[in-house]
Amino acid sequence: MTSTTDTDLASAVAENVDRALAEDVGSGDLTAGLIDPATQAVATIICREAAVICGQPWVAEVLRRVAPSARAQWFVPEGGRCEPNQKIVQISGSARELLTAERTCLNFLQTLSAVATKTAQFVAQVQGTNAAIVDLRKTLPGLRVAQKYAVRCGGGKNHRMGLFDAVLIKENHIAAAGGLRQAVEAARRVADRASFIQVEVETLAQLQAALDIGVNMLLLDNMPLERIREAVRITAGRASLEASGGVSLESVRALAETGVDRISVGTLTKDVKAIDFSMRFSDKPVE
Q: Tens digits of per-residue pLDDT, 187-243?
A: 999 999 999 999 999 999 999 999 999 999 999 999 999 999 999 999 999 999 999
Question: Is 157 annotated as catalytic?
Answer: no
How far, in Å, CA of 178 to CA of 7, rounded? 39
pLDDT for residue 234: 98
Question: Is 103 annotated as catalytic?
Answer: yes
Tell me whether strands 71-74 and 132-134 are parallel, antiparallel or unpaired.
unpaired
123-270, which class in CATH?
alpha beta
Q: Give the whole-number percent of the chain exceeding pLDDT 90.
A: 95
Q: How many CB atoms lie within 10 A of CB 82?
A: 21
Q: How many CB atoms lie within 10 A of CB 101?
A: 28
Average pLDDT over residues 140-159: 97
Q: Does position 85 have pLDDT exceeding 90, yes or no?
A: yes
Cβ neighbors of 109 (< 8 A, separation 6 or more) are: 45, 53, 54, 55, 58, 59, 88, 275, 277
- How far lies 91's CA from each of 29, 74, 112, in Å? 19, 9, 20
Q: Does position 45 have pLDDT exceeding 80, yes or no?
A: yes
Average pLDDT over residues 161-180: 96
Question: Is 192 annotated as catalytic?
Answer: no
Catalytic residue among 81, 87, 103, 181: 103
pLDDT for residue 276: 98
Average pLDDT over residues 79-106: 98
Question: Is 170 annotated as catalytic?
Answer: yes
Catalytic residue among 87, 137, 138, 188: 138
Give the number of C-alpha atoms closer than 13 A to the C-alpha of residue 32, restricted to the C-beta side. Answer: 22
Catalytic residue among 24, 78, 202, 221: 221
Average pLDDT over residues 83-96: 98
What's 196's DSSP letter? -
What residue ranges of the chain are covered by domains with CATH 3.20.20.70?
123-270
For residue 109, give the 3-state DSSP assignment. helix
Average pLDDT over residues 69-79: 98
Q: Which fold has domain 6-117+273-282?
A: Aldehyde Oxidoreductase; domain 3 (3.90.1170)
Catalytic residue among 97, 200, 242, 261: 200
Q: Does position 287 have pLDDT exceeding 80, yes or no?
A: no
Catalytic residue among 81, 87, 137, 170: 170
Please provide the average confidence, as pLDDT, over all residues in the chain.
96
